[in-house]
Amino acid sequence: MSTTDTNRDRQTGEPGWLLVTRREVVSRITDKSFLIGTALMVVMLVGFIGFTAWQDERTSDYDLAATPDAVAMATAVADNASAIDDKVSVKLVEVADEDAAKAALRDEDVDAWLHPTDDGWQLTSESSEQDSLTTVVEGVVRQQVLTENATAAGSSVEQLEAGSTVSTDFLRGDAERASVAEAVGFVFVFLFYFAALIFGMQLASSVIEEKQSRIVEIIAAAIPLRHLLAGKVLGNTALAVVQLLVYVAVGLVGLSFTSYKSYVPALSGPTVWFIAFFLAGFVALACLWAVAGSLASRTEDLQATSTPLTMLMLAMFFGGLSLDGRGQVIASFIPPVSAVVMPKRILAGGVDWWEPLVALGLLAVFAAITVMVGERLYRRALLQTGGRVTLRQAWSSAE
């Protein structure tokens, strides 16, 4: 903080933490790297959503070769392809014989060749399998053969398939939301990890810079160190939340232009919960990053002082992605992992109304305790410049 800021504080009576918060916000939003990074992330997000929308609307056209003995089956495939996959269109190409079919494949005049074998049917392609076409052909051939066999046996396909349907269900939530929850849950976990890591590293680095240059001694003479910590944490939290809101808004708006637009209203509630959990969890981690910076006396020390915090964040990241079942339920109430696990459970559905409230309350208590403990460590380590400070030294040293 400059002398001008100090004088302004004395003249206006503005609390020191507010001045520091303003300085953190202004310095970051005028930083080209921050703006460019945010813009690039938005462009990537828009590009991904645009690509997804394009893929959803895109129809795959296939040319299917068939010799005279396979024309009837290939015709059935062409006529019924859209019933199995509305994004697949099949055009029949009749060829004289096997050699002609292979020549058409080599010349890339057709995408695949359908022909009978001793025990069924075979779909031959030039060098790589056509996944969508294979799925359609398998479905049509199965239906055609079942119909023929049922007729020969004096029965019907419906009678043969009676009682063979297998459906899925969930004790908590439903199957339709499960796949959406998995994808959006990954985005939530990634955004939390990304923001906490990037903003945390920058916060810790700014603490080290002020400590190494001895500017912090001038600041300490003007405002209490707890105000300095509060300003840094609040400033970075505000920036992280604003950036998160930009990403979420772009994501929801973009999603409304895809085939998943029907899920947008259902995602709004869980998104609000995620922002609330993000806020509480980020405050706690931001305070710990400030402590990591205060324990170091130079930039090279940050890797050592931040290792426990980095391991904690990795545990949150992989725990948020991999936990399921009872383990996920338990973790959704344990701070700080609950910051990423409970929003995923809310997305999947089947969560009682009180569970997010309890989890958020526990996370808020954890954040409050972290801030109190972190404030003590920060104050007692910040002005020690004789080398790297251990947690024990910071906790027991005199102020």
Q: Which DSSP category does 385 fall into? A: -
Residue recorded with tokens 């828009």: 46
The stretch 138-165 carries a mean pLDDT of: 79
pLDDT on residue 6:
45
Q: Which DSSP category does 389 fall into? A: P
Q: Which residues contact 211 (CB under 8 A, 6 or more apart)?
A: 293, 294, 296, 297, 382, 385
Residues facing residue 61 across a β-bridge? 89
Q: Which contacts qualify for 372-376: CB closer than 8 Å, 24 or more apart?
A: 374/229, 374/287, 374/288, 374/290, 374/291, 375/226, 375/229, 375/287
Residue recorded with tokens 């945390």: 200
Domain spans in the chain, listed from the N-terminal domain onward: 3-53+175-396, 59-155
Q: Which of 86, 104, 106, 84 is CA-nearest to residue 95?
A: 104
Q: Which residue has the higher pLDDT, 359 or 395?
A: 359
pLDDT on residue 189:
93
Q: Is the dihedral of CA 159, 164, 168, 171 positive or negative?
A: positive
pLDDT in tens, 53-62: 777 677 788 8
Strand ordering across the sheet containing 112-117:
88-94, 60-66, 112-117, 120-125
Q: Map residue 26 onto helix, strand or coil.
A: helix
- Residue 270, pLDDT > 60, answer yes
pLDDT on residue 182:
83
The most distant pair of C-alpha atoms in the chain lies apart, rounded to whole Å, by 98
The stretch 151-176 carries a mean pLDDT of: 66
By mean pLDDT, which of 7-21, 152-166, 271-285, 365-379 is the weakest?
7-21
Number of other CB atoms surrounding residue 47 within 10 Å: 11
Q: Which of 40, 59, 42, 51 is CA-nearest to residue 257?
A: 51
Please state the pTM of the whole predicted model: 0.75
> Which CATH superfamily includes the segment(s) 59-155?
Periplasmic binding protein-like II (3.40.190.10)
- Residue 3, pLDDT > 50, answer no
CB neighbour class for 352 (10 Å; exposed up to 12, middle 13-18, buried from 19): exposed
Q: Among 54-68, 96-110, 141-155, which range has the highest average pLDDT?
A: 96-110
- Residue 2, pLDDT > 70, answer no
Average pLDDT over the chain reads 85
Quick one: what percent of the chain has pLDDT higher than 70?
Answer: 91
The alpha carbon of 305 is separated from its chain's Cα centroid by a whole number of angstroms, namely 28
Quick one: what percent of the chain has pLDDT higher than 90?
Answer: 31
The stretch 256-277 carries a mean pLDDT of: 86
Q: Among 6-10, 87-91, 360-364, which range has the highest average pLDDT?
A: 360-364
